[in-house]
A and B are shown apart, each in its own frame.
Chain A
Amino acid sequence: MLIAALGLPLLGGVLVSMQSQSPNTRDICSLVTAVLLFLLVLGFYPSVLAGNNPTLVLAEPIAGLGLKLTVEPLGLLFATVASGLWILTTIYGVGYMRGNSESNQTRFFFCFAISIAAAIGIAFAGNLLTLFVFYEMLTLATYPLVTHKGNADARRGGRTYLGILLVTSIGFFLFATLWTYAITGTLDFREGGILSGHVGPGTAMILLTMFAFGTGKAALMPFHRWLPAAMVAPTPVSALLHAVAVVKAGVFTILKISVYIFGVDFIAETGAGTIVMWAAAFTLTAASFVALTKDNLKARLAYSTVGQLSYVIVGAMLANAAGIIGATMQIAMHAMGKITLFFCAGAIYVATHKTEISQLDGLGHKMPFTFAAFFIGSLSIIGLPPMGGAWSKWFLLMGSADAGQWVLIGLLLLSSLLNIAYLLPIVGRGFFRPLPADDAAHASANTIQEAPLNCVVPLCVTATGCVALFAFGGAIYDYLLLLFPKT
């Protein structure tokens, strides 16, 4: 079953690449694979809830250190988020790519499928080596997606993307991995961590810092530059990058390392996370300020993502139950919220070819569904009830309070205020400002209307999801308590 979870998207990718002549069959292939994968991932829940961790060793390239897959609660949640949102992204991607009649669609969906396979691999990685392998695979598979347009901008963006991600991962992450291996002789993800008892607080702090900064996908400042640079990609890719696969893989990696390599208690005892936590706190504040200054819609969302990711890192570094639960929830909640926002940005682009926020005046009346969804997504990102985002922010604040980090609470609240400041005006422009005069004439001529159905339906679904997650907050909380058998 594990091999199927990994092989299915790969197989789907191959099928997709063979169907380049008939776009309809190809897109159906993508969609069917996505749905099957989601069902497959859901199928793991019974056994994980029963406390089992299905394991599979794929190969053993280095003696005693195999490519190993293990299903555990944290990874399963990430896999669910990734595979679930993949379905929507596929539907949306089909609409978007056709709406814009982009070239190389087959390559696009092929790489898309490979990226999801890599994300699933990251979710189910049973040791650090496997995690690293799939992490790099994800980087390489998303590179053609980022440079999809193939013009000079795309190439420059792609180079930054690849450069930062590869350099940080090889330079810090791999190094820290090898170091861990040399110290402990294993890289398995184990409950309670593997480093505890092997290293002192100093080394632990160095290692954790290297892991955190080495995970370039988590976009800790100063390694966040790739994220805005990757904005040159088509919007479904941005959705994939920023909500589903890449960035979530990054923070998920940090979370998993904190929980299963270091162990929550070990981090709490040694204070190993201090540097990373403050770096993340700085990032989430600074990124919000930068977002305020951006007029390009996708760039603003990108900086918003940089900030929101650091919430997860902060949660992981708080090293207490509430922090970890908050961080894990933030992965799911932010994924749902941010993908909504990107879907909206893409829908606006498909319908009107507008990319700047200052051009959005009055569009809310023309595209009511899109802007309503944007509003809901924004609320979820900000963390206001009745949206899912409220839970994660709540638990993160509780975690900070448990850890006695009052300054941190202040920063988190400040950042939330900033979120309001940079997200809500967009909706305000759409609904409360009139269409510009010259554009009004234009609009009356060839009426701007909602984007194709393929685009609008997914964004309505994710917006509903944001609300639904609020209702399921309790269930997710109960599920995540699996991570803490004692408490």
Chain B
Amino acid sequence: MIEQLPAIVLLLPLLAAPICSMIHNGDYAWYLAAASCWLAAAAAVGLMAQVWGGHTISYHMGGWPPPWGIELVIDELSALVVILVTVFAALVISALRESLRPKMRKHRHSLYYAAYLLCVASLIGITVTGDAFNVFVFLEISSLSTYALIARGRDRRALIASFRYLVMGTIGATFILISIGFMYMVTGTLNMADLAERLPALSDNRVVQASFAFFTVGVALKVAIFPLHLWLPNAYAYAPKATTAFLAATATKVSLYVLIRFLFDVYGLEFSFQQMRIDLLLIPLSIAGILIASLTAIFQTDAKKLLAWSSVGQLGYMVLGVALLNTAGLTAAIAHMFNHAMIKAGLFLALAAMIYRVSSSRLDDLAGIGRQMPLTMAAFTVLGLGLIGVPLTAGFVSKWYLISGALDKGWVPLAAMLIGSSLMALIYIGKIIDVAYFKPCKPEHAEVREISPTILIPCWVFALMSIYFGIDTRLTAGVAGRVAESLLGISS
């Protein structure tokens, strides 16, 4: 049983998805979907327990050893990402039933849950697989289910957002496919460990370099690295309420995981950073992304768009951490991946609860909601403080490492810029909190009441996690630190 965990965590949601689509009753489908998510989450925690301390599990699908069979590889980094995906997916789906209820005809619910589960399964697949082509396939499954989820949004603009994302996402994924084809051309393998062995010898080969270029652009699109982020704000803003919480938490983070995995493990540190100097590209882009996205967020009049733009900025932090190429920076990137997923999922969920009540995410409709829905707004505030990076919240820890990373390089202006961008976060989060607590409530929302516990409890779980991981950081920064050292080839 224990040795089968890597397969179980992947197959649970993958098999539950088609079953879900066949169940006609939306409620039963929800029970199945939620149960499989929670079980997968438990399995993910079990995986983490097995690899804790820096071990690696290699699981051969169907008993076929690589390179013939498909290998699942789990180390601390992938276990952390799997926990991120499954736990947050489980928390969000717990809230999902309530938020879907009024909007969608009931028999459609099952299909919705099926798409959701497919997305979860494929994100897990991307993370645990040891096969480059599998990455592409799972990436496409996750993208396709994401497009479908987004298109179900409350507003017709969701359709356009989904379509644009589909076009850009497909181009990105096809770029990755081209890149994988090139790699296979010169190495004759698709197994990531084998690729990592054979690619360094071919570092002067132009096909390898071309594959690197295609890969970077393709993944950058998926990660939404500035300036390839254009699909993200609208996709997040118009996706159905609680779904945004799941997407914001997982999709881009998993893509970032792919980026880290390929840059450091498959192509190798020397090739990516010393020969191709990818850091020279990523650092300016991430800085521009942080500043421009944060600034744009400040000027949004729609809370959901505001948070979406903030996501672009926060992704910039993670990419910057990767590109800094030192232990502190990489620790920050990986820890922030987890922390930001948690915080942003919670924020979107709390916001979803408010939208559920007032049927709008415009700031002026949220006026005074802090008094109508005190518990939801309190959770939002706690999470917002985490996003800003107030001490004793998870956001503080990752920002601390990031700024330390910048200072370790001796880049004082960059550190100052990061502090400045935190202040920008203070402004845009402050804007929502200010509206919610201090503006008088619109008369038509005078009857608005607190949301039901099914949504409120997940919100608070996120909020409390954000505080817990600001104090006990063994799972986040601890793992991230070990992973960073092993990725950078520093033995501790």
Contact = CB atoms under 8 A, between A and B. Distances in A.
A170 B423 contact: yes
Interface string B389-401: 1111000110011
Given A62-B477, A63-B478, A137 B392 contact: yes
A136 B415 contact: no
Contacts of A62: 397, 400-401, 473, 477
B291 interface: no
A159 B439 CA distance: 13
B419 A133 contact: no
B426 interface: yes
Interface residues of B, number: 31
Interface string A403-432: 000000000000000000000000000000
Nearest to A130: B391
B403 A178 contact: yes
Nearest to A129: B391
A171 B407 contact: no
A167 interface: yes
A181 B400 CA distance: 10
A136 B478 CA distance: 25
Contact of B422 (A61, A159, A170): A170
Interface residues of A, number: 24
Given A170-B426, A174-B419, A61 B397 contact: yes
Contacts of B404: 178, 181-182
B426 A63 contact: no
A335 to B, nearest CB: 26
B394 to A, nearest CB: 9
B22 interface: no
A167 B470 CA distance: 21
A132 interface: yes
Contacts of B423: 167, 170-171
A171 B419 contact: yes
Interface string A52-89: 00000001111100010000000000000000000000
Interface in A130-144: 132-133, 136-137, 140
Interface string A4-47: 00000000000000000000000000000000000000000000
**Most chain A CB neighbours (cut-off 10 Å) among B388, B420, B438:** B438
Nearest to A155: B438
B419 A175 contact: yes
Nearest to B381: A140
A179 interface: yes
Interface in B422-481: 422-423, 426, 434, 438, 470-473, 477-478, 481
B392 A133 contact: yes
A319 interface: no
Which of A63, A133, A155 counts the most B-chain CB atoms under 10 A from its CB?
A: A63
A62 B419 CA distance: 18
A386 B400 CA distance: 49
Determine which residue in A59, A61, A62, A175 has the highest number of CB atoms from chain B within 10 A of its CB, and name it: A61
A175 B389 CA distance: 13
Contacts of B390: 136, 140
A59 B397 CA distance: 13
Contacts of A155: 438
Given A63-B478, A159-B434, A182 B408 contact: yes
Interface in B367-418: 385, 388-392, 396-397, 400-401, 403-404, 407-408, 412, 415-416
B400 to A, nearest CB: 6
Contacts of B478: 63
A166 interface: yes
A158 B111 CA distance: 49
Given A59-B471, A63-B481, A170-B423, A179 B412 contact: yes
A67 B434 CA distance: 31
20 contacts: A60-B473, A61-B470, A63-B481, A129-B391, A133-B392, A136-B390, A137-B391, A137-B392, A140-B385, A170-B388, A170-B419, A170-B422, A170-B423, A170-B426, A171-B423, A175-B419, A178-B403, A178-B404, A181-B407, A182-B408
Interface of A: 59-63, 67, 129, 132-133, 136-137, 140, 155, 159, 166-167, 170-171, 174-175, 178-179, 181-182
Interface of B: 385, 388-392, 396-397, 400-401, 403-404, 407-408, 412, 415-416, 419-420, 422-423, 426, 434, 438, 470-473, 477-478, 481
Given A137-B391, A170-B388, 14 more contacts: A61-B397, A63-B478, A67-B471, A133-B392, A137-B392, A140-B385, A159-B434, A167-B423, A170-B389, A170-B419, A170-B426, A175-B416, A178-B415, A182-B408
Q: What 8 pairs across the A-B complex have the smallest Cβ distances?
A: A182-B407, A133-B391, A59-B471, A175-B419, A178-B403, A61-B473, A155-B438, A61-B397
